[in-house]
Structure 1
């Protein structure tokens, strides 16, 4: 194995990884298109059930029809992934199977809604469970991308996806409250949690997104729909449990939330497009580097180092006064490095920078997973809701002046005995 072969193979693998990522961006787009329709179907179905089928029957049916169309497109994308040439991993195939399992449950779910055989809240939970499986596929794609140079784009995309799904759940729960005509404390708590979760996701999006996309999100914050949404949010969150609500506002709420979500979806579409463009540009650049590598190797062969010329002169046939190689002029100490060495040095620096960016990306995603697991532990062992569990972690973090991640790690490290009772569990957390 030669140095030249290693250099060329490394560059070729970089090109292959970029091509695979560009291909994945296509099916991430297909997943997103279906998720968007399912989110709309979820919200419309919620109003349909909460209003005793008096509202949103046509909106729901239109959403169902659009979802069916995009479901078929996603199935075609999944089918293409079965080709061994795609190199789809076992875990990816498993997640695809889970997502298809959810899609196959949709006809029965829709039939139950048609017959009013389930509550609006159960419908929200069922759709959210299905959507979560599809969103997990997007996260898995980013986690296994293996292309550090686009890591910032991927982190921005993931948190935009997360924020949009949280906004979709908020739309459904708020629609449930307005369409039912009365306020419930448990739903209010869920709304507060979803609003807070969106803000956290969008902060990370803002940290990693390109300036142009951040500016567009800032513009969306000033849109008229945001003022309407904030007014309706406030009415829901401050109302006393059992307070009567104007059911006619369910349309206004749904439309304001939908306009905001459409803006978020547009940002996601732009991020996917930027991902495609970045992959295409880097493939071209890498191919140029690959070609330059060949040219550099050719030049290297045609222009050997000075010391080899001295050896050639020394052993030249018919030479009467050969010059010993040890007396040959040494190259100046400030001589330029050979083209191949320069290529290796440049590539090493680039790879080091890319690895640093990838490590930062992995750290961000890993911290999110640890905090989510800690919330799950508190919910399972202490019977807390997701909102209460997160606020418990957050309060402990502030009280002890420790990072939220450290508190989450400490929670996961606690033995089962510490959670024997809610009181002891709360003290253990503190």
Structure 2
């Protein structure tokens, strides 16, 4: 029985180690969302500067570059505190570390992107996509953290955070797109379609986040439309989406647009920080409970007698499980001076089964989101579509076939080899 207890303790120690890693991950996610927030603002100001440098956006952009650099330094300091070899091993850990390598590469290339913006060596649309690529690389770490977490409560919190930061990023892209149009003094038809897609998609992401967060955060998310700035934002949205393509826009509205979008993004960032704070507290609480359970198991005087009744219990329990009988729940860990090792083993097995079932439910939306994003990327690459067009194509296919969007996305991915070669856009 000593070896039995040895493996039980090892399993509990592994859980404690994973939860401690999640505490460190929550600290990194706080620095990540702070850096993303500054990059999103830098992206919007870059578009205003590229579209109308004469309007005096140079100084505002320069100040923002300094703020971004401060957030970048804090992020890199947090990143350097992590040990590459710490935490759980496996494919998910490898993906996370790969994302970190891409982030380093993107941040090293940021000065080059800034020079192109400063020298007007690129269009606002190109600059937007360059910033989107860097930001999405940062946000992919949130996705991998959510996909890797093994505790259902922590996983649920991470999935909520993922959808919140994705919704905010879509709102940031909306700010950048509208800023470029107002600064240029005109908007094209494809930009209008993109704006409509971004508005719809960010709302879907925020609704999913609200369904998974605490009551306080849900109420805060629901209260966002009541902000005074949103009234102005809706009016400016209508100007952009209802204007005739190529018709003149009031370029002086660019500042009002940027301010209205920024007020909403700042409010969303406050919710990000609150959710990351809840995540950190949850991880620390779970870690404390797991460590306490581990300590209790280490000092427990378990009944290890090997009489006929104790040995028969193993096979009787196995028969009951095989017959699908509903066994009564057992306490998580023994809290008294004696107990049966078999009870502890069965308890741990049941806990793992329950956690697995709950994790499947929590990750369902996350995995569907991954399928849809991959299918959109495939359509964009093979058929030369924009993101908005690819999403519309998938939704139209789902409606025509009476199937769920994720099912259509899976079918598109399965038939990837049948898609036509990439064509250029007219």
The normalised TM-score by structure 2 is 0.85
Match of 1:272 in 2: 276
Change in 2 beyond 3 A, CA 1:138/1:417 = closer
Check the 8 A contact 1:153/1:275 in 2, yes or no: yes
Q: What CA distance in whole angstroms lies between the structure 1 residues aligned with 2:412 and 2:418?
A: 12
Check the 8 A contact 2:175/2:261 in 1, yes or no: yes
Change in 2 beyond 3 A, CA 1:13/1:417 = closer
Q: What CA distance in whole angstroms lies between the structure 1 residues aligned with 2:346 and 2:212?
A: 28
Q: What CA distance in whole angstroms lies between the structure 1 residues aligned with 2:215 and 2:155?
A: 16
Structure 2 residues not aligned, in runs of 5+: 310-329, 332-337
Q: What CA distance in whole angstroms lies between the structure 2 residues aligned with 1:395 and 1:179?
A: 33
Match of 2:36 in 1: 35
Match of 1:112 in 2: 116
Match of 2:161 in 1: 157
CA RMSD, 1 decimal? 2.5
Q: What CA distance in whole angstroms lies between the structure 1 residues aligned with 2:13 and 2:419?
A: 53
Q: What CA distance in whole angstroms lies between the structure 2 residues aligned with 1:276 and 1:420?
A: 47
Match of 2:313 in 1: none
Match of 2:77 in 1: 76
Q: What CA distance in whole angstroms lies between the structure 2 residues aligned with 1:420 and 1:82?
A: 43
3-state SS of 1:116 partner = coil
3-state SS of 1:293 partner = helix
Match of 2:359 in 1: 358
Check the 8 A contact 1:149/1:354 in 2, yes or no: no
Q: What CA distance in whole angstroms lies between the structure 2 residues aligned with 1:368 and 1:413?
A: 16
Check the 8 A contact 1:47/1:55 in 2, yes or no: no
Structure 1 residue 369, shift from structure 2 partner: 1.3
- The aligned runs of 1:113-192 (5 Å cut-off) are 113-192=117-196
Structure 1 residue 6, shift from structure 2 partner: 2.5
Structure 1 residue 266, shift from structure 2 partner: 1.3
Check the 8 A contact 1:45/1:60 in 2, yes or no: yes
Which piece of structure 1 moves more, 55-64 or 255-264? Answer: 55-64
Structure 1 residues not aligned, in runs of 5+: 309-335, 423-430
Check the 8 A contact 1:184/1:241 in 2, yes or no: yes
Which of structures 1 and 2 has the bigger CA Rg? 1
Match of 1:19 in 2: 20
3-state SS of 2:280 partner = helix
Write the deviation string for residues 209-261 of structure 1: whole angstroms up to 9, x where unpaired: 12221111111221111221111111111111012111121111111111111
2:376 maps to 1:372: no
Q: What CA distance in whole angstroms lies between the structure 1 residues aligned with 2:237 and 2:398?
A: 28
Q: What CA distance in whole angstroms lies between the structure 2 residues aligned with 1:379 and 1:269?
A: 33
Check the 8 A contact 1:167/1:195 in 2, yes or no: yes
The normalised TM-score by structure 1 is 0.84
